[in-house]
Amino acid sequence: MTAGELGVVKCETCNLVMRAPGDDAECSRCGERVVVRKPLSRCVALVIAAVALYFPANVLPMMKTEQFPLHRSDTILSGIKFLWREGSWELAVLVFTASILVPLTKLLALGFLLITSWRRSAWRPRARTNLYRVIEAIGHWSMLDVFVVSLLTAVVQLGRFANVEPGAAVLPFASVVVLTMLASASFDPRTIWDGVREVQHE
Amino acid sequence: MSEVNLDELPAPNVRQHKRGRPSAIWIVPIVAIVAASALAVRTYLRAGPTIYITFESADSLEVGKSDVRYKNVPVGKITDISITDDLKQITATVQLSRGAANLAVEDTKFWVERPRIGVGGVSGLGTLLSGAYIGVDVGSSTTKAENFIGLEKPPGVLHDQVGKRFRLTTHDAGSLVVRSPVYLQRQQVGAISELALSPDGKSVEMEMFIDAPYDRDVTDGTVFWNASGLDVTLDAAGLRLDTQSLTTVIAGGIAFGYRDADHPGKPAAENTKYVLFEDRPHAMAKPDTVSLPLAVRFDKPLRGVAPGTVVDFDGTRVGTVDDVRPGYDAARGTFFTDVDATVFPERLGAAYAGLVSEGTRTGKTGPDMLQALVPRGLRAQLRSGNLLTGTFFIALVLDPTAKAATVTPRDGVWVVPSEPGGADQIQDQVGEIVSKIDKIPFDQIGTDVHDATRAASTLLGHVDHEVVPDATKLVAQAQLAMAALREGLAAIRDNVAAPDSPIQQSARSTLEELDRAAFSLRGLADFLKHHPETILRGRDSGPEPH
């Protein structure tokens, strides 16, 4: 038995249980917006935005380093390659995980969850819920690159000899991370189970 | 907990909102897509054309690292380096940036900038640390191109330099190289931009670039000379050291000026050809417009005469020897030497002008007049120019006392008979001296000298043993004698020279006595002048003389 099946809805803010509204409504007690399900469209829009910005974030240079007399301009991938070749493979793995693997996993996972929810799939709802928990948990860790660049930019300002400047990819990359976090927050995991209910009904 | 009647639950307040309007959240992906596409478009637009440059080697060029710089601004990157199909060169693929698309025109030049220590100083020092880069000099053409042949050295002249190019030809470029400076009044106004052997390999052709506004100083009256190295002149005025600048000492250089400084002439057109003279005196010399072959036959072998030997007319250098040929006169059974030379009679200046004007009156040409000098005693002599270095020159001298000589005139050739010259005489004299020296009995002299030396050494031994001790005694005695002498002299000094010495005293009183006597005599003389009769008559009792 779910709240939906009972035709009731709970206010997320003040926990007042009400009859399920037919449409957009607000809590009769605290005025919070009350919906049966958060709309998928919101999450879809954010994921699309994140995917769009994912390309410039990886293609454009992330960090421009000037270490007299060498100029380097690194994208995320070339930076990882550089770290790997220089022997700092632990760092390379760390940066790869935080900057490539996590955002990519999040985008793919969200996409997968959105599609299955939209199709009201009843396929392994429990596993999908776990997946959602994972992406909620790891979402914050992708900002590593952005933090590194911001920190280096602030610290390494030795004029001609060594200089670090943020590249054009910083903004798109930070946006990707923020957008995926917002997207995962706006995803309503209850939609995972909606298909399950329908299956039980039949 | 009791059963809950679901229908008694409160109903939420239905919100009024406009239907059919899409949620505001869709603005986010739209903005994201627009931003991403804008970045993509910008990146795409920033990428310019791809060009291919071939070089001899990829020395110090690196894919992804080496860039292309125009006026030291990066305008592109090497994206690939490959070997050409014939395996002889390398091709660097360069991705130019969008703003630099106009660089890729037909006559653009590319070269690899490496650290260089050259004539103009040290260049490309920055590349020591940063690695080499490809330098660009943009051409003026408007035709786009994508295949270029890279230069191995930076070009001497960049395209945007204002000025003019001129061409120079010389037989000996000396130490001149590309970028050797060109001087006007010791100021650098340009540089050699190209230097190459002529196709026949006999001369060196150079292209130089004179910067504006000095390009106007290159006129039709300009002469160029090689100002390389030091010009040390030792003449009657003393030692003179001449150089354009320290750079020319090391790296060579070219200077230019005018034969007639007051009338430099009109500015020359671009690519005018000039001859590079070996030095300033040659450049400033009047050009030789009239040349005349000279033929002289010497009745003996000539040592020290070769092509290039100077022909001198009364102290003026009028030409040089072209050819020296030994020959055999079967009729007389003697050997002889034919010397062919080229002379420039105009170097004789007013002397030749005088001959020519004399000739025009009688309808003869200048060469005719020169040939006519032979019956008047013109002879060629071989003379020694420098006894130390053994250089010779051929002197043309007018010797009215010369023996009559006949020459077979040849058309257009100045045929001059020879006579034994100073050099021959000196040679003969030297020969005589040598033979005299030869006759000196050096062996005998040596033996005699040896004997004399031995006798002398015996004598010296004698002196050592017998004379020296005596001499020592003698010296001691002499010293004693000297001391005695010194005492005697002191006594004399005391007696004679001191103011109160007896001799001085008596001498002074004697002198005073004499003085008085002289006074009396003067009185007597006066008296006698007034009373001459007293000599005869004696003095009467008149007044006393005063």
Per residue in A20-30, pLDDT (tens digit) is: 876 678 888 88
Q: Is A52 on the interface with B (CB under 8 A)?
A: yes
Which residue in this structure is represented by tokens 């992406």?
A135
Is residue A112 scored above 90 in pLDDT?
yes
By Cβ distance, the residue of A19, A52, A60 closest to B32 is A52
10 Å CB burial of residue B515 (0-12, 13-18, 19+) is exposed
Q: Each residue of A154-200: pLDDT tens digit?
A: 887 776 677 788 888 888 998 998 899 899 888 988 888 887 766 55
Q: What is the pLDDT of residues B403-431, one digit of tens each?
A: 777 777 777 788 888 887 665 666 667 77
Per-residue confidence (pLDDT) for residue B208, from 0 to 100: 87
- What is the count of residue pairs from A and B with beta carbons less than 8 Å apart? 97
Residues of chain B in contact with residue A22, where contact means CB-CB under 8 angstroms, are 14
| Average confidence score pLDDT of chain B | 80
Question: How much is the pLDDT for B237?
Answer: 59
Query: CB-CB: which of A19, A42, A49 is closest to B32?
Result: A49
Residue among B7, B9, B29 minimizing CB distance to A52: B29
- Which member of A19, A41, A50 has the closest CB to residue B9? A19
Query: Residue B517: its pLDDT value, please?
Result: 92
Q: pLDDT tens for residues A66-106? A: 766 566 778 888 888 888 888 888 888 988 888 888 889 89
For residue A59, list chain B residues with Cβ-Cβ distance below 8 A.
Answer: 40, 43
pLDDT at residue B244, rounded to an integer: 64
User: pLDDT-based confidence at A202, cuts 50/70/90?
Assistant: very low
- Nearest CA distance, B13 vs chain A (angstrom): 5
Rounded Cα–Cα distance for residues A130 and A133 (Å): 5
What does the alpha-carbon distance between residue A182 and residue B25 come to, in Å, rounded to a whole number? 11
The answer, yes or no, to whether residue A108 has pLDDT greater than 60, is yes
Three-state SS at B287: coil
What residue of B is the nearest CA neighbor of A42? B25
CA of B44 vs chain A CAs: smallest distance (Å): 12
Point out which residues pair with B94 in neighbouring strands. B51, B78
Burial of B29 (0-12, 13-18, 19+ CB in 10 A): buried
- Candidates A7, A46, A59; nearest CB to B6: A7
Tell me if A57 sits within 8 A of A43, measured CB to CB.
no
Interface test with B, best of A5, A8, A16, A19 (most B CBs within 10 A): A19
Query: Do residues B49 and B101 make contact, with C-beta atoms less than 8 angstroms apart?
Result: yes
Which chain B residues are Cβ-neighbours of A56 within 8 angstroms? 35-36, 39-40
pLDDT at B120: 55
- The 8-class DSSP code of residue B75 comes to E
Which residues in chain A have their CB less than 8 angstroms from residue B124's CB? none
Give the residue on A whose Cα is nearest the Cα of B26: A45
Choosing among B8, B28, B60, which should be mutated to test the A contact, i.e. which has the most A CBs within 10 A? B28
**What stretches in chain B show pLDDT beneath 70?**
1-4, 16-22, 117-130, 156, 229-251, 287-288, 385-390, 421-428, 497, 540-546
Show the DSSP H helices in A32-143 as ranges.
40-59, 76-85, 89-96, 102-118, 125-138
